[in-house]
Structure 1
Amino acid sequence: MIFDAVSQPRLRGVDVFIVMDDKAESKGLEKEKGLSILVRAHYPKKDLDILFDTSITGKKVLSNIKKMNLGLKFSYIVLSHKHWDHTGGLLEVLKARNDWIPVLHGRNFFRRSIAVDPYLRHTTWMPFLRRRIIELKGMLTPIWNPIEIAPGVFLSGKIPLMTEFEAPPPKYRILPQMVQDEMEEELSLVLNLNGKLIVINGCSHRGVVNTVKHAISITGASEIQAIIGGLHLMAFSDKRVARTIEELGKIGVKEFYIGHCTGEKAIKQFRSAFGDVVHRTKSGMVIEFR
């Protein structure tokens, strides 16, 4: 489905649908330890749907999409990074659509990667699936630098490491060299709605503060309306979480919709610091911005 950006002068609203997380709003919805989000950007003449990540199990993602009445007419699939809990459902989604669609991903997305703590295990199936993705009409589209894919809708490109306390976890390694995987492929989706930014993350492996600062840099906006998605703080110390909270407080983030890999303990720390503007994401949640 082709989106005509030329005839869409201004972003007028954004709806964010949490298709999959490890908790659900109701018993009728699927849940698993993965993440998938559908973003609907509203324009004067036509809406733009973007599927951001595909969780682990495609059939579960498709089930929730159907139950949430979202349809499969999204114009792009964005893969935040290569890990299996964000890309596992891709093939089933492509099969269900059966139509050519750009699959946007970051640089070095198809590198083979493993984790070495607490034991050696593969973290991605993507290096083995490139040909199959194309066979299923996925138009693989590498994004290295920031790009505005539609009015007010940005992909981050490579997120620079600006803070001294945020870096990708050392347990991830690139094969065969066994050097640290810096997660260079990680992308965030950033929407600029009337000068207020909505920052959507998969796991924030390169740091949520780095990501937000980069979003400000590439858009020229300075107000962060919301951060949505995973912050990957579950494996970090209370001190690290507190520092993250401190820096986001300085930036002035207004709302948090966080879950997946953030960690329940970290979410409690965020609520203690920011109060009721912190929300735990669940399958079926709908977030509206106007």
Structure 2
Amino acid sequence: MKLTVLVDNNVYIDHYYYGEPALSFYIEDGEDKILFDTGYSDIFLKNAAGLGIDLSQVTKLALSHGHNDHTGGLSIISDIFTKQKPEIVAHPLAFFPKKEEDVVIGSAVTLSELKENYRVRLTKEPIKISKNITFLGEIPELVNFEPRKQVGETKISQSYTPDYVLDDSALVFEGQDGIFVITGCSHSGISNICEYAKQVTGTQTIKGVIGGFHLFDINEQLEQTIRYFQENHITSLYPCHCVSFHAKAKIQSQLPIEEVGVGLHIEWY
């Protein structure tokens, strides 16, 4: 599997790409080409062009969840997929309206609009999206230190209700020596996601994790998360997007982590 970071909060020095507080990864697994999230704007497309990546060849478009820093680019995908149209995979709650106070934080493109031109597969259950990659669907709570937290509100019926981001999902790649977890924001909890990935694949060895861990504060949850990483002997950690400097520094004080920025290219086997 090959993964390239198209969008992240961070851009490497002397690498002339665009950054924004969002996330998008381009992934190749054999013949399958996967776009995981689309960032907040059109910069995933600009960065892909600068990196020599032809997004028109994408076969699957998987969404980690419905927030606009991961779905914003959906508004321009018709400019990319003029011939080959990828299947779009997401959790069933991903496209319901979302807001935080008076600010809209959900997808600007509705499910009905997408269905006019694309096959959209909504699933709570894990499904294979390539030979070695599984979309995990709805993540259960499997550890006791990562309770779901409210992020704004969502309108599922007639009125807005607290949103615990049940649509937050992730990908898992099954490699030769273990699994690699690929996350968007980890609203479900990074350790919950890793545990579920182990459960779904039947593989107990986690070789690496890349993506947003949704960790900001130096607190007991962060300490427990670091302990979880240590107990699982995870050798490659790539926290990005929604991880604060202080949280990264705390993890780095006990475990080596890698710097992530637009243009990062990783190959796992």
Tell me if both proteins adopt one fold, taking TM over 0.5 as the criterion.
Answer: yes
Residue-by-residue CA offset, 1:160-185 (whole Å, 9 max, x unaligned): 01222213322422235443312121
Q: How does 1:1-290 map to 2 (within 5 A)?
A: 14-25=1-12, 26-42=14-30, 47-58=31-42, 60-72=43-55, 73-98=57-82, 99-116=84-101, 120-126=102-108, 129-135=110-116, 137-175=117-155, 177-234=159-216, 236-275=217-256, 278-290=257-269
CA distance in 2: counterparts of 1:66 and 1:249, whole angstroms: 38
Shift of 1:195: 4.2
Query: Residue 169 of structure 2 contacts residue 188 of structure 2 at CA under 8 Å; is this kept in 1?
Result: no
CA distance in 2: counterparts of 1:243 and 1:53, whole angstroms: 28
- One-letter amino acid of the structure 2 residue matched with residue 54 of structure 1: T
CA distance in 2: counterparts of 1:250 and 1:203, whole angstroms: 22
CA 1:264–1:94 in structure 2 vs 1: closer, same or farther (change >3 Å)? farther
Residue-by-residue CA offset, 1:120-139 (whole Å, 9 max, x unaligned): 4221134x52233234x332
CA distance in 2: counterparts of 1:111 and 1:134, whole angstroms: 14
Q: TM-score, normalised by structure 1?
A: 0.86
Percent of aligned pairs sharing the same letter? 23
- One-letter amino acid of the structure 2 residue matched with residue 57 of structure 1: S
Q: TM-score, normalised by structure 2?
A: 0.92
Query: Residue 210 of structure 2 contacts residue 238 of structure 2 at CA under 8 Å; is this kept in 1?
Result: yes
CA 1:269–1:181 in structure 2 vs 1: closer, same or farther (change >3 Å)? same
SS of equivalent residue, structure 2 residue 119: strand
CA RMSD of aligned residues (A): 1.7
Shift of 1:27: 4.1
Query: Residue 129 of structure 2 contacts residue 135 of structure 2 at CA under 8 Å; is this kept in 1?
Result: yes
After TM superposition, the runs of 4+ consecutive aligned structure 1 residues lying more than 4 A away are none
CA distance in 2: counterparts of 1:93 and 1:209, whole angstroms: 32
CA distance in 1: counterparts of 2:48 and 2:231, whole angstroms: 37
Query: Residue 62 of structure 1 contacts residue 93 of structure 1 at CA under 8 Å; is this kept in 2?
Result: no
Which ranges of structure 2 fall in alignment gaps of 5 or more residues?
none
Q: Give the count of matched residue pairs.
A: 264
